[in-house]
Amino acid sequence: MSGDLGMIKHEELIIPGQELGTLEEYLPGENVYERDGKLYSKVFGKVSVKNLRISVHPLKEIPRIKEGEVVIATVTEVKENVAIVEILAIEGEAYRGIASPIYTAAIPISQIANEFIKDIRLKLRASDIVRARVISTQKGIFLTIKPPDMGVINAFCSICRRPLRRVSGNTLRCDHCNTNETRKLSNLYGKYFMRGDKYGSDPRKI
């Protein structure tokens, strides 16, 4: 099937937690979950629709990661001085997605923001999706999210796991449980999609 799936296109590349549609439009298929009548992706991959069932198929291409490249990653663990992430994809003119093997990388606390950070959990939390730049591949993969366009591009409430809405600066709000949280946000938060910035004309293709 091809054609317009609302805001989502057939075979469009999407990130975990990205909204796909509603239960009024589709039935949840493979790697899709439902919250409050809305459907979201569990994985990084391509959308497909068959018989009104929407699914997301993970991508399996295995690229080599190089210094200077921009990656999309999910935070898996936050420690006192470092955040551990799994890299999902590499930005570039030729899309390169990662499914296996899993590339684990680290974001040192010194590479999160240009300020003193008392508690790293005020900047990053597990399950956050980040856009980061590779600064070293020696003795492991190390990333930075200090530039304005790097940082969290998708986050979820730590209480109810609903997507968080940016209200101002680095402050996010959960419209479901009225919780406020902070992150080191990218200026692309809520705007970053695999086919580009939905609010502008500056495409950021993967």
Of 20, 35, 58, the one marking the end of a domain is 58
Q: Within this chain, do residues 47 and 77 fall inside the same structural domain, yes or no?
A: no
Q: Is pLDDT at 131 greater than 80 in this prediction?
A: yes
113 within domain boundaries: yes
Residue 198 falls inside a structural domain: no
User: Domain containing 13 — which CATH number?
Assistant: 2.40.50.100
Residues 78 and 8 in one domain: no
**CB–CB of 129/155 below 8 Å?**
yes
The verdict on residue 54 lying in a domain is yes
44-58 tens-digit pLDDT: 788 899 988 999 987
Which residues are within 8 A (CB) of 35 and not within 5 positions of it... i.e. 6 or more apart?
161, 162
User: Are residues 99 and 124 located together in one domain of the fold?
Assistant: yes
Q: What percent of the chain has pLDDT over 70?
A: 82
- Give the tens place of pLDDT for each residue, 119-130: 999 999 999 999
- Tens digits of residue pLDDT in 99-121: 455 688 999 999 999 999 999 99
Distance CA 21, CA 173 (A): 21
Q: Please state the domain count of the chain.
A: 2
Name 180's bridge partners: 173
Rounded Cα gap, residues 58 and 147, in angstroms:
29
Chain centroid to CA 125: how far? 12
- Give the bridge partners for 156, in sequence order: 163
In angstroms, what is the C-alpha Rg of the chain? 17
- 201 domain residue, yes or no: no
- Give pTM, 2 decimals: 0.70
204 found inside a domain: no
Contacts of 122 (CB under 8 A, 6+ apart): 182, 183
Kindly state the average pLDDT of the residues 26-30: 93
Indicate if 34 and 131 belong to the same structural domain.
Answer: no
Q: Are residues 16 and 77 in the same domain?
A: no
Number of other CB atoms surrounding residue 97 within 10 Å: 21
Assess whether 106 and 186 both reside in one domain.
yes
Q: Which domain holds residue 105?
A: 70-193
Note whether residue 63 is domain-resident.
no
